[in-house]
A = this chain, B = another copy of it.
Amino acid sequence: MAGSVNKVILIGNVGADPEIRRTQDGRPIANLRIATSETWRDRNSGERREKTEWHTVVVFNEGLCKVVEQYVKKGAKLYIEGQLQTRKWQDQNGNDRYSTEVVLQGFNSTLTMLDGRGEGGGASAGGGRGSSNDFGGGGNYGDDYGAPAQPSGRSSGGGGNFSRDLDDDIPF
């Protein structure tokens, strides 16, 4: 469809240390659970109330996976920009089930660490691909094909085909 946009922006905390898995051809995939929550005061009782929402985030982007692997731990506060994607899968009874995830893949995805935790080294989001950008720990991690928007010194993406052929391996 011409002219469509599918964007999710989250700021929240990671509920558990991320799981990193690998495809058959060696590409990493990171799974995160991120909590966002809202607090308000009930207009009748005056009590403070809170509601927490849990989001499943799946990182296909190689550079961002490295960042996740190296720096993201349980409790980390993250800024995430990705897309909504609903996967269809079958449960053990053969019934269709659907899981909706926030997917970080491709050029418009971002993951940024918002607290100091896990920093220190030389995180490389675009990393390992020769001319890639080397973002500092806790920086703004562009995706594998990405280059930061800035006046000079842009890197180009690496090659390689990508196949998300393991959808069914990642139940909700």
A77 to chain B, nearest CB (A): 7
Question: Do B12 and A105 have beta carbons less than 8 Å apart?
Answer: no
How many chain A residues sit at the interface, stated as a range, is: 35 or more
**Distance of A171 Cα from B92 Cα, bound (Å):** 11
A92-115 contact mask (Cβ, 8 Å, vs B): 1 or 0: 000001111111111111101111
Question: Are the CB atoms of A114 and B77 closer together than 8 Å?
Answer: yes
Most B CB within 10 A of own CB, among A49, A101, A104: A49
Total copies of the chain? 4
Residue of B nearest to A146 (CB): B107
- Bound-complex Cα distance A138 to B2 (A): 5
A147 to B143, CA, bound (A): 10
CB–CB A84/B53 < 8 A: yes
Can you sample 24 A-B contacts with CB below 8 Å? A1-B36, A3-B79, A4-B11, A4-B112, A7-B8, A38-B139, A40-B148, A41-B134, A43-B131, A43-B132, A54-B86, A60-B149, A85-B151, A87-B170, A99-B100, A99-B171, A106-B148, A126-B157, A130-B158, A145-B155, A147-B157, A152-B161, A152-B165, A156-B158
Which residues from chain A sit less than 8 Å from chain B, CB to CB? Answer: 1-13, 21, 23-25, 27, 29, 31, 35-45, 48-56, 58, 60, 62, 77, 79, 81-87, 89-90, 97-110, 112-116, 119, 126, 128-140, 142-172
